[in-house]
Amino acid sequence: MPENDPIDILIEAALSTYATPGPGLEQRVLASVSGARISTANYAPEPTPGRRWLPWAIALPVAASLLLSIVLFTPKPKHPPTVSVNRVPLPAASIVRTAPPTKPHHSASGNSRIAPAATPLPKLDVFPTPQPLTPQEQALAVFAAKTPLPKLHALADAQMQADAPLNIAAIDIQPLDPSAQSGN
């Protein structure tokens, strides 16, 4: 650069003093850096308010993709599991014979079908339900409650002996008197 011109000399002199910082700049910079270091050591770094959404923004897509992959890639059973059903024989009267399937009716749109109305089957009791005692059973219960135990045992023994085979004595049948028969 030619600096022989006095104007150029003035410009260079002014440029050398342009943007001169105040005294103590280095100390202020070092103090701010050390202050920042102390504050960093004392306080754990927290996400800035503008970035609090960041963990959720990462976690939610990851969780959604995991769920989707589990749903899509889980092997499905080829045959549905067999369920054993105890079939109860229905009484002949309860079997309702339905009419043979007719031609399905198409709706106006032609897409839906109306299923034939099925007659609901009667519900049957699979297990015995408790029934109230009959008068005979009630009398037996009263008798058992009032009778002393030895008598009940004796009665039970008698019932057992009643089941034993009967011994019937041989019947001795006298022959009829022919004379008397002939006399009538």
Partner 1 sequence: MTTGEDVDFTALVQRQSRFVFRVAYAVLLNSHDAEDAVQETFLKLYRNRGWQHLSNERAFLARVAWRVAVDRRRPAQGTPATHLDSALDPSDPLDDSPSPSPGPEQTLLQANQNALIHSMIDALPEDLRLPLVLSAFDELNSREIASILSIPEGTVRTRLQRARQLLRQKLSAVQETRYA
Give residues in contact with partner 1 (CB under 8 A).
Answer: 1, 5, 7-8, 10-22, 25-26, 28-30, 32-33, 36-37
Q: Please identify, using beta-carbon distances, which residue of 5 and 125 lies nearer to partner 1.
A: 5
Q: Please identify, using beta-carbon distances, which residue of 6 and 178 lies nearer to partner 1.
A: 6
Nearest approach, Cβ of residue 45 and partner 1 (Å): 11
Q: Give me the residues paired with residue 106 across strands.
A: 113
Whether the Cβ atoms of residue 133 and residue 141 lie closer than 8 Å to each other = yes
Q: Please identify, using beta-carbon distances, which residue of 40 and 107 lies nearer to partner 1.
A: 40
Nearest approach, Cβ of residue 34 and partner 1 (Å): 9
Q: Please identify, using beta-carbon distances, which residue of 33 and 140 lies nearer to partner 1.
A: 33
Nearest approach, Cβ of residue 12 and partner 1 (Å): 8
Q: Please identify, using beta-carbon distances, which residue of 47 and 104 lies nearer to partner 1.
A: 47
d(CA 12, CA 21): 18
Q: Please identify, using beta-carbon distances, which residue of 13 and 66 lies nearer to partner 1.
A: 13
Backbone angles phi, psi at 106, to 5 degrees: -95, 140
Nearest approach, Cβ of residue 2 and partner 1 (Å): 10
Nearest approach, Cβ of residue 66 and partner 1 (Å): 35
Nearest approach, Cβ of residue 18 and partner 1 (Å): 6
Q: Print the SS3 string covering the chain.
A: CCCCCHHHHHHHHHHHCCCCCCCCHHHHHHHHHHHHHHHHHHCCCCCCHHHCHHHHHHHHHHHHHHHHHHHHHCCCCCCCCCCCCCCCCCCHHHCCCCCCCCCCCECCCCCCECCCCCCCCCCCCCCCCCCCCCHHHHHHHHHHHHCCHHHHHHHHHHHHHHCCCCCCCCCCCCCCCHHHHHHC
